[in-house]
Amino acid sequence: MSTLLLNLDFGEPPPKKALEGNAKHRNFVKKRRLLEQRGFLSKKNQPPSKVPKLHSEPPKKGETPRVDGTWKTRSFPKKKTAASSNGSGQTLDKKAAVSWVTPAPSKKADSVTAKVDLLGEFQSALPKISSHPTQSQKKDLQKKSSKKNHPQKNAPQNSTQSHSENKCSRAFQKLPQKMVAIDCEMVGTGPKGHVSSLARCSIVNYDGDVLYDEYILPPCQIVDYRTRWSGIRKQHMVNATPFKIARGQILKMLTGKIVVGHAIHNDFKALQYFHPKSLTRDTSHIPPLNRKADCPENATVSLKLLTKKLLNRDIQAGKSGHSSVEDAQATMELYKLVEVEWEEHLVQNPPKD
């Protein structure tokens, strides 16, 4: 029997596991490259390829990838691409691209990943900053600052009293500079002379010095001069100042100042003027002044009687009539007797205008 010679090749077939492993690896690399392009992962440094590097010409259309997934002659120049250097403008076919080969990233992807990497490095280099205080911590800080800046509520009342006294003393220091006294004399105009019209006005300062003293010509015809009380005579009206001019001069002197007078509402009525109540001091309605003169507090006492009792001086005497300068000076002197007491009363009980 002739011998049979069998030439059998017992070479092992390619393991299936290796092929399956390559497919899993390719899927993994696909996902990783996609995440790297979108900036979710930092790029992994690829180990150098075992394939020998050839010249940097782009792959031809007929070339196919190797089994291990790399091109035969794939290389990337640093500055210029092969397409720009050759001027051909050829690009790789998307179907022929292999998943684990790093494609040329676009400018937008590079900028995004670069910004992410730089931001991470910058934040890691910064020193750690303490967190912002919470709302409760802010409230505690505000309470501490308020305790430092504001005194305690249970402070003694002496501090408030001293503060009010200091306030009053400062106000008293400013009063003499802004205080004047006024007195006016009127004549009768209109039907039967029953209308009181301004015929003389005198203004003195805190020390009694005369600031203004003029005879004033009423706008209407004078019917009764009332000489017995006003001291006005016909010759006083020859060179008298017209009412409109005199009124403007007087109001300039009274504006913004404390005006003292006796039954001063009559003077303001003759001037056709209204002065703020907070800046008006009427000696006919000051109870402390009446008490000093041993008169009823709510009574309206004449200027002549108050001057006689408190200043021991006679005014408005004789048949020649009143002097508006003398009356204004007497009014200021009477007010000085109760100035401190009355001003403290007005500070605690300010009059309403």
pLDDT tens track of the chain, all 353 residues?
Answer: 455 555 555 555 555 555 555 788 888 888 888 888 877 766 655 555 444 444 444 555 555 555 444 454 444 444 444 334 444 444 444 444 444 444 444 444 454 444 445 555 555 555 555 555 566 666 666 666 655 555 444 444 455 555 555 555 555 555 667 899 999 999 999 999 999 999 999 999 999 999 999 999 999 999 999 998 999 999 999 999 999 999 999 999 999 999 999 999 999 999 999 999 999 999 999 999 999 999 998 899 999 999 999 999 999 887 777 899 999 999 999 999 999 999 999 999 998 87
Burial of 246 (0-12, 13-18, 19+ CB in 10 A): buried
Chain centroid offset of residue 73 CA: 74
Domains defined for the chain, CATH in brackets: 175-348 (3.30.420.10)
Beta-sheet strands, E only, within 159-257? 179-189, 195-204, 210-217, 222-224, 241-242
Predicted local confidence at residue 83, as pLDDT: 39
Q: For residues 213 and 198, is the Cβ–Cβ distance under 8 A?
A: no
Predicted local confidence at residue 51, as pLDDT: 45
Is residue 280 within a helix (H) or strand (E), and if so which, with residue range? strand 280-282
Q: Which of 37, 103, 104, 39 is nearest to 69 (CA)?
A: 103
Cβ partners under 8 Å of residue 188, min gap 6: 194, 195, 196, 197, 222, 223, 224, 225, 226
Predicted local confidence at residue 161, as pLDDT: 52
Chain centroid offset of residue 60 CA: 75
Rounded Cα distance, 1 and 5, in Å = 12
Predicted local confidence at residue 178, as pLDDT: 87
Q: What is the pLDDT of residues 52-87, one digit of tens each?
A: 444 444 555 555 555 444 454 444 444 444 334 444
* CB atoms inside a 10 Å sphere around CB 351: 10
Q: pTM value? A: 0.53
**Any long-range contacts for 46-50 (C-beta under 8 Å, 24+ apart)?**
46/102
Predicted local confidence at residue 94, as pLDDT: 42
Q: Which of 181, 163, 167 is nearest to 344 (CA)?
A: 167
Q: Distances from the Cα of 31 to the Cαs of 7, 199, 318, in angstroms?
A: 47, 109, 123
Predicted local confidence at residue 342, as pLDDT: 94
Is residue 331 within a helix (H) or strand (E), and if so which, with residue range? helix 324-337
